[in-house]
Amino acid sequence: MFERLRDALRAALDATTPPGDLRDLARQMREAVVEAKVAVRELGQGVVRTEAELAAERQRLADAERRGRLAAEIQDRETVEVAARFAAKHRERLGVLERKLAAQRDELGLTQRELTEMQAQLARAERDRPLTEAERSAERAWRDLEAAGGVRPGTDLRDELLKSQLDRTAREAAADQQLRELKKKMKKD
């Protein structure tokens, strides 16, 4: 399903489709990513359920084998035969569950890889999409402001350094306060 959306997005980009159509395709891609995340979660839950079933079946097999051994010790042939039939059924069920778990794990791994690929493709599509007129206008305004000597938030290195220094000062002050409180507490004890 996602392949079709990706191909449609690629075709739209190649044909310089209007931004509205690209936004719709990107929305569809996001929805596909959400669906894939749900599928991964459900597959993971299925693996957990099968692991629990497998553990329970192993316990049932061990119980049937133990009962057979105990019956053999007291020479109860009928109980030995019944226990052997149950043990055979539990072994067969155990084999089915082991194969089921292996298949579920394979499917989960495949779906996780597909989800990772889908997320990367969505990120590329959003990054590489053409700018809307509003975005181009805002970009021109920021360039004009910077040309006039203004600074765009997030691009001023001095501003970022100042924020970093303020953060460090606040952390050091908090650590000093904690140290003072600890010293007071230790004097009381």
- In angstroms, how far is CA 106 from the centroid of its own chain? 16
Is pLDDT at 81 greater than 90 in this prediction?
A: yes
In the chain, the amino acid numbered 173 is A
Q: How confident is the model at residue 17 (pLDDT cuts 50, 70, 90)?
A: very low
- The pLDDT mean for the chain works out to 82
**Within the chain, what is the greatest distance between any pair of CA atoms?**
101
What CA–CA distances, in Å, run from 24 to 6, 27, 187? 12, 5, 66
Q: Which residue in this structure is represented by tokens 């230790």? A: 186
If pLDDT is split at 50, 70 and 90, which confidence band does 7 have?
low
Which value, to the nearest 10 degrees, does the dihedral of the CA atoms of residues 138, 141, 145, 146 take? Answer: 70
**Six-digit token string for 159:** 């501003």
Q: What is the pLDDT of residues 57-70, one digit of tens each?
A: 999 999 999 999 99
* Backbone phi, psi, residue 18, to 5°: -55, 150
Helices (H), the chain: 2-14, 19-73, 77-128, 133-147, 157-188
Per-residue pLDDT reduced to its tens digit, 126-178 = 777 666 667 667 777 777 777 777 766 655 556 666 677 777 888 888 888 88
Rounded to two decimals, the pTM is 0.55
CA distances (Å), origin 127, targets 22, 26, 130: 12, 11, 9
